[in-house]
Amino acid sequence: MSNKTSCDAEKNDDYLQDRPAVYVEDPALDLYEEGSIDPVYRAKARVLSCAIQEIGMGKYQWYLFAVTGFGWFADSVWPLLGGLILSPVIAEFEFQGPFLSLALNIGLFVGAVWSFNITLFIAGAFGLAAGGSPNFVTLASLLAILGLGVGGNLPVDSAVFLDFVPGSHQYLLTILSIWWSVGQLVASLIAWPLIANFSCPQGSSTCARADNMGWRYLLFTLGAMTLLLWGIRFFAFPLAESPRFLVGRGRDADAVAVIKRVAAFNGRTCSLTVEHLTSAGEKAGPSQTRAVLSGSSAFSMDHIRCLFQTPKMAWSTSLLIALWGIIGLASTLYNSFLPYLLASRGARFGDSTYYTTYRNQVILGVIGVPGAFLAGWAVEQPYLGRRGTLALFAGNVPMAHRGVLVREHHRAELQRAPRVELRVRILQQREQRIRCVLHTGCMLMGWWDAVRQIMYGVLYALSPEVFPAKDRGTGNGLTATATRVFGILAPVIALYANLATAVPVYVSGALIIGSGLLALLLPYEPRGKTSL
């Protein structure tokens, strides 16, 4: 599944003749047009990319795959939590359901300012605290603060991983979304026994705290798990600074030192020297600016201007922001309200127990896990790439969406049938046929979930691949802001929709279809190119 490398084995004339050759990237395979990136930075970034390719995919990168995956795991678990605990929390606190999701998504929106290591700590600590909430206001407030931590994962983790992965293995950024799928599965697996066995019976007139501890146990468990992941990431893994960021700051020696530390960690050697970077920069010409990067990686107007440097770059950035906004709205509508929909609809047919509802949620989670591997394979295929994969799987949504419609239609048909008629043998056979269709609808809902996982995996990888490393933090911040803003809109929409209907889920499907069409308009295709 490896890419064709864009580095050849020719020794560059600028390299010192008494040192081993470092592979030099072929400029013809560059992703960006002339004028879109500072030429000195571009030249040095090519050398760094080829030095990382020389080191290869080793122990450091696989460890990084795991610890950045922890962030994706948290970013999956906690936004989904609002949907998982919605029914039992409504039973206990008696409030309008969308307000819980609204509080969490406001926190996610603000959370993009947090750093790589502190994000999981905040999520874990406030997740534990939320489990002891005495009322809805406290719960919503703690979940909003929890969202501050979770929101910081999305802009950072993919960029951190991409900075160190060889160009031949960039497809792993798509497969990194396996952590997102696993997060949904693990959260559903934990919620299944806890909420099913420690919640008030659905439809009961009163619901005391002592009889409704399941959702609290779920928060305690996920909070403790997140703190454990934070401890591993903070204390056990030596995260290095981005060498491309260091080069952009003119710190060539520090960038070389980072590359050599990574090589040593992998048990490899690297022939990169400061002279290699200096020579590449001198050959490229004077930098367009005195410093390619600002003094920090903070969100700034300089970085934003670079993302709109040329018409093509501006079009790409604008489309990515739009795509992330649409996906943010679709994802929140789906994840936040599907468990509640399954529970409320199932109540009409005697299969509304929390056991059944969360069992179905686990099934959907299992189906979504292979999607990350399928996405990683698809993005490397000729004529598909990142853009084609997005569009292809968005086109499968109508079929899966029809499965939900069929399921709901036949459920309604069963409900309308008089009891006396259902005792008649011919109508009993008819009921069996209808229930068979219901199972087919469930399978199609599972396919829909897998399609969504594939789309998210591709989109989460495409954005950091397209943004240049020197502006990647800002670009990821812009797209994260878009998805969080529209995530806030989702519960507002639900406030004016009947949550007993499938309207939020239908809207989600329509939005995903639209995002697939937009993906075809993206001007950059990273397949076969090394990110700079």
pLDDT tens profile 150-177: 776 666 788 888 889 988 888 898 888 8
Alpha-carbon distance values, 524 to 412, 416, 481, 531 (Å) = 46, 52, 22, 11
Percent of the chain with pLDDT over 90: 14
CA angle 452, 454, 458 (to 5 degrees): 115
Which residue's entry shows tokens 């002279």?
A: 275
In angstroms, the CA 465 to CA 321 distance is 14
For 274-313, the DSSP string reads HHHHHHHHHHH-S-SSS-SS-SSS---HHHHHHTTSSHHH
CB atoms closer than 10 angstroms to residue 420: 8
Burial of residue 138 (CB within 10 Å: 0-12, 13-18, 19+) is: middle
**DSSP structure class, residue 453:** H
- Kindly give, in sequence order, each residue whose CB lies less than 8 Å from that of residue 477, ignoring residues fewer than 6 positions away: 112, 155, 299
pLDDT tens profile 178-216: 888 899 889 989 999 999 899 888 767 788 888 899 999
Nearest CA to 214 among 355, 328, 88, 394? 88
Thinking of the domain 59-239+309-519, which architecture would CATH place it in?
Up-down Bundle (1.20)
pLDDT at 444: 53
pLDDT at 387: 85
In angstroms, the CA 511 to CA 508 distance is 5
- Three-state DSSP at 498 gives coil
pLDDT tens profile 465-515: 888 877 887 888 788 888 878 877 777 776 666 655 666 667 777 787 788
The torsion angles phi and psi of 117, rounded to 5 degrees, stand at -85, -35
Q: Report the predicted TM-score, pTM, of the whole model to 2 decimal places.
A: 0.76
Residue 100 contacts residue 82 (beta carbons within 8 Å): yes
Residue 118 contacts residue 149 (beta carbons within 8 Å): yes
Return the HEC string of 46-57: HHHHHHHHHHCC
The torsion angles phi and psi of 24, rounded to 5 degrees, stand at -115, 130
pLDDT at 395: 61
pLDDT tens profile 331-350: 777 766 665 665 555 544 44
**DSSP structure class, residue 211:** G
In DSSP terms, 24 is beta-bridged to 8
- Kindly give, in sequence order, each residue whose CB lies less than 8 Å from that of residue 150, ignoring residues fewer than 6 positions away: 74, 75, 78, 79, 107, 108, 111, 119, 123
Burial of residue 205 (CB within 10 Å: 0-12, 13-18, 19+) is: exposed
Residues of the chain with confidence (pLDDT) below 70: 1-30, 96-98, 111-117, 152-155, 203, 286-300, 335-352, 394-449, 452, 494-505
AA letter at 346: G
Domain ranges (residues) in the chain: 59-239+309-519
Burial letters for 502-512: b for 16+ Cβ neighbours within 10 Å, e otherwise?
Answer: bbbbbbbbebb
Percent of the chain with pLDDT over 70: 72
Nearest CA to 3 among 159, 166, 177, 244? 166
pLDDT at 10: 40
Dihedral of alpha carbons 339, 345, 350, 351, sign = negative
pLDDT at 300: 57
